[in-house]
Copies of this chain bind each other. A is one copy, B any other.
Amino acid sequence: MSASEQRPAATDGGLSKARVVAEAVRLADREGVHGLSMRRLATELGAGAMSLYHYVASRDELLDAMVDVVFDEIELLSDDTDWRSAMRRQAMSARQVLARHPWAISLMESRTTPGPANVRHREAFTACLRKAGFSIVMATHANWLLNSYVYGYALQEASLPFRTADELAEMTDSVYLPQLPADEFPYLHESAVGLAQAGYDPGEEFAFGLELILAALEPLRTSDARGA
Contact = CB atoms under 8 A, between A and B. Distances in A.
Interface of A: 32, 34, 102-103, 105-112, 119, 122-123, 126-127, 130, 136-137, 139-141, 144-145, 147-153, 155-156, 158-161, 180, 185-188, 190-191, 194-195, 198, 200, 205, 208-209, 212-213, 215-217
B149 A187 contact: no
Given A137-B198, A141-B208, A148 B152 contact: yes
Given A107-B106, A216-B212, A216-B213, A156 B149 contact: no
A144 B207 CA distance: 11
A209 B144 contact: yes
B109 A105 contact: yes
Given A105-B155, A106-B110, A119-B180, 17 more contacts: A108-B155, A109-B158, A119-B185, A123-B188, A126-B187, A126-B191, A136-B191, A137-B200, A139-B191, A140-B205, A144-B156, A144-B209, A145-B213, A149-B152, A150-B152, A155-B155, A213-B213
A140 B200 contact: yes
A192 to B, nearest CB: 9
B153 A205 contact: no
Q: Considering residues A32, A145, A148, A160, which has the most beta carbons from chain B within 10 angstroms of its beta carbon?
A: A148
B159 A151 contact: no
Contact of A111 (B102, B147, B152, B159): B159
Given A119-B188, A141-B209, A194-B136, A110 B32 contact: yes
Contacts of A200: 137, 140
A209 B138 CA distance: 11
A150 to B, nearest CB: 7
Contact of A152 (B106, B112, B147, B158): B147
Nearest to A206: B144
Given A107-B106, A109-B105, A145-B212, A151 B140 contact: no
Contacts of A126: 187-188, 191
A156 B148 contact: yes
Nearest to A33: B110
Contacts of A205: 140-141, 144
A188 B187 CA distance: 45
